[in-house]
């Protein structure tokens, strides 16, 4: 009779100890997360860049064996050069364009040519476009005053976008430096990733889960950059052939927009409007407009073809994860989304397939 109260006291004391330890661990985890949170985006970007660029590190080891630090430094310096050069040229071109536009407006010589009569015959929107264009050609100042609130909101939105791009570029450069440090210790990092994955999902699943995460990140990164590069070529060639001013810089802008997962139509539609306004409506301008507009939408076709290559899960899983992650988490979500969805997909189907066979069920029922 005396053993029951003693046993109950021991169990209560052990339960209390477990709860206290769990509470202390939770408090420690919360404090660690709050301290680490300001660097979360930086470290995620650095990890993504390190995983994406690490194959270059492995390839250069054949030439520079045993010099992982030097190899990582060379890769990061080349990456800085590749990114800084077009960014600088694009920034200079934008600044010059703004200065020229301000000078033209101050001189009072800016004018919009009147629309051709054929514009009014366009289906559905022809008459509206013709009236708006005609008003802009006759009284541009009055039209600007009419839409002053909308222009102000648009200007503020563009200013916020430019500011965000500048901050994002600084974060990207800092992440590149951290990625170089991670690549210099790539073997140790890979072993740590496998150990963490094995601790979470079991030793039989750990290596495969780590490999799945790595291949998914690389596939998404290569797919995003590859699609942006293809769009740059498709659109840039048309700009050069058509003689668009600053065609090369506009093509670089298309590349940067594609990497940031912004639509290329932000460049192509204004260029189409410029061509029609300056050269009128003809067979050449119509073909150019249709081609450039379709090329600006080519990423919607290329993503399903390229994003899922080299990944041990179906392509729709990676595509849905990339698009859903981008909607919910921005550019970083573009990488995190397919990784989480691919890992969840693999674990779900392993759980489905890891079930007793009918013969084993009969034996268990007999026992």
DSSP labels, 184-212: HTHHHHHHHHHHHHHHHH-TTTHHHHHHH
DSSP labels, 8-44: HHHHHHHHHHHHHHHHHHHHHHHHHHHHHGGGHHHHH
CA dist 227 and 273 (Å) reads 25
Supply the pLDDT for residue 109.
61
Tell me if 197 sits within 8 A of 205, measured CB to CB. yes
Supply the pLDDT for residue 162.
64
DSSP labels, 44-85: HHHHHHHHHHHHHHHHHTTTSTT-HHHHHHHHHHHHHHHHHH
Tell me if 267 sits within 8 A of 254, measured CB to CB. yes
- Residues 327, 304, 208: CA angle, nearest 5 degrees: 85
Distances (CA, A) of 296 to 268, 269, 299: 7, 9, 7
Supply the pLDDT for residue 341.
84
Tell me if 121 sits within 8 A of 127, measured CB to CB. no
Burial (CB count within 10 angstroms: exposed 0-12, middle 13-18, buried 19+), residue 328? exposed
Tell me if 61 sits within 8 A of 68, measured CB to CB. yes
> What H or E segment, with its residue span, contains residue 131?
helix 126-138
Burial (CB count within 10 angstroms: exposed 0-12, middle 13-18, buried 19+), residue 338? buried
Q: Going residue by residue through the chain, which has 367 residues, state the pLDDT in tens, using 9 for 90 and above.
A: 555 666 777 677 788 888 898 999 999 999 999 999 999 888 888 888 888 888 888 888 777 777 888 888 898 998 888 777 777 776 676 677 667 767 766 666 666 777 777 777 777 677 777 777 777 777 666 666 676 777 677 767 766 666 666 777 788 888 889 999 988 888 888 898 889 888 887 787 788 888 888 888 888 777 777 788 888 888 888 888 888 877 777 887 888 777 766 788 888 888 888 888 778 778 888 888 888 888 888 877 777 666 666 666 777 787 788 778 877 777 677 778 888 888 888 878 877 877 666 655 555 555 5
Global pTM?
0.68
Supply the pLDDT for residue 108.
61
Supply the pLDDT for residue 359.
57
- Residues 266, 268, 274: CA angle, nearest 5 degrees: 110
Supply the pLDDT for residue 93.
67
CA dist 95 and 213 (Å) reads 41
Residue ranges with strand state E in 144-185:
none
Tell me if 129 sits within 8 A of 114, measured CB to CB. no
């Amino acid at each position: 009779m005396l053993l029951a109260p003693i046993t109950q006291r021991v169990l209560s004391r052990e339960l209390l100890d477990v709860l206290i330890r769990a509470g202390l661990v939770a408090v420690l985890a919360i404090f660690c997360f709050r301290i680490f949170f300001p660097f979360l985006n930086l470290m995620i970007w650095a990890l993504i860049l390190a995983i994406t660029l690490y194959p270059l590190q492995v390839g250069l080891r054949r030439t520079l064996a045993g010099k992982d630090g030097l190899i990582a430094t060379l890769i990061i310096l080349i990456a800085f050069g590749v990114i800084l050069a077009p960014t600088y040229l694009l920034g200079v071109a934008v600044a010059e364009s703004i200065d020229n536009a301000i000078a033209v407006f101050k001189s009072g010589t800016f004018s919009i040519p009147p629309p051709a009569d054929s514009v009014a015959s366009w289906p559905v929107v022809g008459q509206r476009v013709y009236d708006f264009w005609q008003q802009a050609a006759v009284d541009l100042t009055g039209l600007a005053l009419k839409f002053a609130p909308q222009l102000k909101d648009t200007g503020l939105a563009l200013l916020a976008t430019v500011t965000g791009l500048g901050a994002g570029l600084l974060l990207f450069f800092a992440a590149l430096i951290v990625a170089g440090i991670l690549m210099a210790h790539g073997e140790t990092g890979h072993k740590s990733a496998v150990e963490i994955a094995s601790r979470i999902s079991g030793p039989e699943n750990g290596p495969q889960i780590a490999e799945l995460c790595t291949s998914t990140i690389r596939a998404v990164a290569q797919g995003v950059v590859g699609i942006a590069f293809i769009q740059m070529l498709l659109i840039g060639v048309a700009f050069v052939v058509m003689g668009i001013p600053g065609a090369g810089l506009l093509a670089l802008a298309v590349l940067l927009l594609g990497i940031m997962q912004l639509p290329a139509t932000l460049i192509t539609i204004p260029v189409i409007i410029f061509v029609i306004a300056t050269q009128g409506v003809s067979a050449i301008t119509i073909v150019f407009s249709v081609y450039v507009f379709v090329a600006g939408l080519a990423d919607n076709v290329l993503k399903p073809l390229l994003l899922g290559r080299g990944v041990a899960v179906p392509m729709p899983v990676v595509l849905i994860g990339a698009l859903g992650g981008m909607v919910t988490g921005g550019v970083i979500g573009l990488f995190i989304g397919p990784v989480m969805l691919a890992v969840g997909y693999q674990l779900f189907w392993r759980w489905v397939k890891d079930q007793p066979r009918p013969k084993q069920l009969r034996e268990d029922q007999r026992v």
